[in-house]
Structure 1
Amino acid sequence: MTGYPVDALGDWARLPFFQDDWPGLQARLAQDTRQILPPPRQVFRALERVAPDAVRVVILGQDPYPTPGHAHGLAFSADANVRPLPRSLSNVFKEMVTDIGACPMSADLSFWADQGVLLLNTVLTVPAGAAKGHDKLGWQVLTAQVLDRLAHTPRAYLLWGAGAQKVARDVDPDVNLKIETAHPSPLSARRGFFGSRPFSRTNAWLQARDLQAINWANPSEAA
């Protein structure tokens, strides 16, 4: 498993995927001669950053940004120096300003992960310039097992777009907070993402359960 730091995944490494599916998937990645994003050391970063029992909020993305230098292993997030912002993230920030009055100063959402927000793409790799180019590679097995691992404790799920909603269709809305809206893509954000107030609604749900709210906007003040 050279280059892919699965040994840093803690309890996530116990998922059957890593024993049963990862060797074959890694072999298929090795056969792809295109530039693969993100770099191998960042592919599992979402899981590496948040242990299973520390997850309070789940945000599901599709696949990594296909532009070299953007993807760094966290859904919707990008390296801090990326300008202009990826268009979907720009719309996320617009909704955040409307919802809570502020947004981060850069594209890097690592500080969300440090507060227990699992920023997980349903497909963890993409060939440069070929969005959804690895949709058939088998990553969805891992996503399903991650959601199953999290099912024992109530959590907030922000499901933006039909793809995320399909993947998380078995998440119980009576036990969890399940916010389902259009995707923040420029093609769909005005069809229900804008105005959905996911950030304040998530924090209200957390605080009603005596859990700390997420600091969405300011890394320097994040717990």
Structure 2
Amino acid sequence: MTDDLARLGPWRDLPFFHLVWPDLRGLVGEDALPPAPMRFRALEMTPPDAVRVLILGQDPYPTPGHANGLAFSVTADTPLPRSLTNIFREMEDDLGHRPGTGDLSGWADQGVLLLNTALSTPPGQAGGHARLGWQRLAEEVLDRLNDRPRAALLWGNHARAFAPRLSHPDHLILESAHPSPLSARRGFFGSRPFSRINDWLAARGEAPIDWTATET
């Protein structure tokens, strides 16, 4: 990504991009995943006023060719990671269907912000950039989204730690265990997040999310 932040739309006004990113980009390195043109893809695809649902992840997949800039999402020809397999399993139990691939771009187009709290990682090193300073961006994004009611899925302790930043009394905050195989049976399975969000949207007179939608 170049220093031109125009592709970020209104997100480019966040202090992070002027106070943190100029130094942070040098620490990220050229070989970090996902590739630089995809690094801010979640923000580029879903501007602030379009966000209806937030799904907060941790960091990109560390296997080259998998991460595509959206939390939990992978490129369309990639075998499903275990966490995404469990997400789709819960969706089938909840709704009776699931997307055809692991590319969740179709969710982003409907106002689902798929944001990781770190937007880069070294190849083969999960969590390798978690302490570089990316958390400041996640905090500022959540603060920006606290202006009106939105739904948020916070899976696992890492995501749940950000819940205090979503203090609007009319948010729908759904917290559960992470869909990882290590924790999915501790409260993720059976949580029915997809139908609960659509029921909440319908009660507000909004269109539901088509969770079967994939890449655009």
Name the TM-score class by shorter chain: over 0.9
Structure 1 residues 5, 190: CA separation in 2 closer, same or farther (over 3 Å shift)? Answer: farther
**In structure 2, the residue corresponding to 1:169 is in which secondary structure?**
helix
Q: Give 1:1-223 correspondences, 5 Å limit.
A: 2=2, 6-30=5-29, 35-83=31-79, 85-172=80-167, 174-219=169-214
CA deviations over 1:43-64 (Å, ceiling 9, x no partner):
0000000110000000000000
How far does residue 65 in structure 1 lie from its aligned partner after superposition?
0.4
**In structure 2, the residue corresponding to 1:36 is in which secondary structure?**
coil
**In structure 2, the residue corresponding to 1:9 is in which secondary structure?**
helix
Equivalent pair of 1:159/1:181 in contact (CA under 8 Å): yes
Number of residue-to-residue matches in the alignment: 216
Equivalent pair of 2:86/2:181 in contact (CA under 8 Å): yes
How far does residue 27 in structure 1 lie from its aligned partner after superposition?
1.6
Distance 1:6 1:193 in 2: 37
How far does residue 174 in structure 1 lie from its aligned partner after superposition?
3.2
Structure 2, unaligned runs of 5 or more: none
Equivalent pair of 1:66/1:131 in contact (CA under 8 Å): yes
Structure 1, unaligned runs of 5 or more: none
Distance 1:61 1:214 in 2: 19
Q: What is the root-mean-square deviation in Å for CA atoms of aligned residues?
A: 1.6
% same residue? 58
How far does residue 219 in structure 1 lie from its aligned partner after superposition?
4.3
**In structure 1, the residue corresponding to 2:147 is in which secondary structure?**
coil
Distance 2:213 2:144 in 1: 30
